[in-house]
Amino acid sequence: MLTRKQQELLVFIDQRLQADGVSPSFEEMKDALQLRSKSGVHRLINALEERRFIRRLPNRARALEVLQMPDAVRAPLRLVPPAVPPRPPVQAMIAANDTVVVPLHGRIAAGLPVEALESDRSLSVPAALLGPGDHYALEVSGDSMIDAGIFDGDYALVRRCDDARDGDIVVALIDEAEATLKYLHREKGHVRLDPANAAFEPQRYPANRVRVQGKLAGLLRRYH
């Protein structure tokens, strides 16, 4: 028997899969169930997985599959997350002075992992720094990537993607909660996130705990 919150989350995931073909993000699940943190979502997901109502699909981002629905669920529960303004297409925002406005999603650690914060801010970026695709910006915090020329306070310009090659500098999301900027390497079922500073140690995680959220496309730096 499922708890009320477990059932609500299962129905929400099922509705999103049927509507979009993609499972919702942990942030969307947190908002839909009015939870205080994503750790509560993790607990609910684990409970549903243990009871074989859902399963995680390996090597795919945001990949959940609903295996069964409880008999008690007849009419669907309508769980709709708070409205989120649509992200403007990057190419539509190229101005006459060849700048592009991209979303600025808070600070990301170039040292130890910290939670990547969403925000409603944006950043004007020279179009020449960006190639094709959808991009966003993150403010760098820490000095573990200084030997790669990435310093505290820089703005990392990131192309959204869910995969990258070994040796790429990526935004890596760990346990769906913490994000960091590091070199990506894969080794025997694990992911190694390497710093570019001899004072820091590489970070190693099982591959299923790490999800690539983007690849470094460029940098902006302010001089005060």
d(CA 42, CA 153): 31
Q: Under a CB-based contact definition with an 8 Å cutoff, are residues 105 and 136 in contact?
A: yes
Active site residues: 144, 182
For 68, other C-beta atoms within 10 Å of its C-beta total: 10
d(Cα 171, Cα 163) in Å, to the nearest integer? 10
Instruction: Report the distance separating Cα 69 and Cα 39, nearest Å.
Output: 23
Ordered DSSP codes for 136-154: EEEEEESSTTGGGT--TT-
